């Protein structure tokens, strides 16, 4: 029998949910959801997350082609999503520019996180310096 197997939509959705949950769980348990690691990507200081993701892509693609060579997977029945490089580059540039803008416009080094701290006891409740970048993100400016 050759993969991909014929499965119902509900079973396929169940597999996607289970594998997606496990993937996210392993990433979190491995420390890849740490805000310092994620912001280190934008500051070009910590490349652990991109290295991990690139390794996952290489392993998955190698596995697909190896299974195809061993006649265990029919690649003609596997739909590979086309990549739109210009749209992806624009999205990355937009995300990076918003990140940098929030860091510069918030007036302090924690990137606009002052809004959450304003609700905590011991902080100035009238400090709304993080609202400017948040409103800019919401309005799309």
Q: Cα angle vertex 62, ends 59, 67, to 5°?
A: 120
Q: Which pLDDT value is given to residue 120? A: 46
| Residue-range domain boundaries for the chain | 9-80, 84-141
Report pTM. Answer: 0.55
Tell me the Cα Rg of the chain. 21
Tens-digit pLDDT profile for residues 51-97:
998 999 999 999 999 999 998 888 888 887 888 888 888 888 887 77
Following CA atoms 125, 126, 130, 133 in sequence, which dihedral angle do they give, to the nearest 10 degrees? 140
């Amino acid at each position: 029998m050759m993969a991909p197997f014929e499965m119902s939509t509900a079973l396929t959705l169940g597999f996607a949910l289970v594998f997606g949950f496990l993937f996210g769980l392993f990433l979190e348990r491995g420390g890849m959801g740490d805000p310092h690691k994620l912001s280190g990507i934008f500051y070009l200081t910590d490349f652990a997350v991109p290295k991990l993701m690139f390794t996952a892509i290489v392993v998955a693609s190698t596995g697909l082609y190896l299974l195809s060579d061993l006649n265990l997977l029919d690649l003609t029945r596997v739909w590979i999503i086309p990549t739109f490089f210009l749209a992806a580059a624009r999205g990355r540039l937009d995300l990076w520019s918003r990140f940098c803008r929030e860091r510069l416009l918030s007036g302090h080094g924690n990137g606009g996180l002052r809004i959450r701290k304003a609700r905590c006891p011991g902080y100035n409740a009238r400090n709304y310096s993080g609202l400017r970048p948040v409103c800019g993100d919401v309005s799309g400016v």
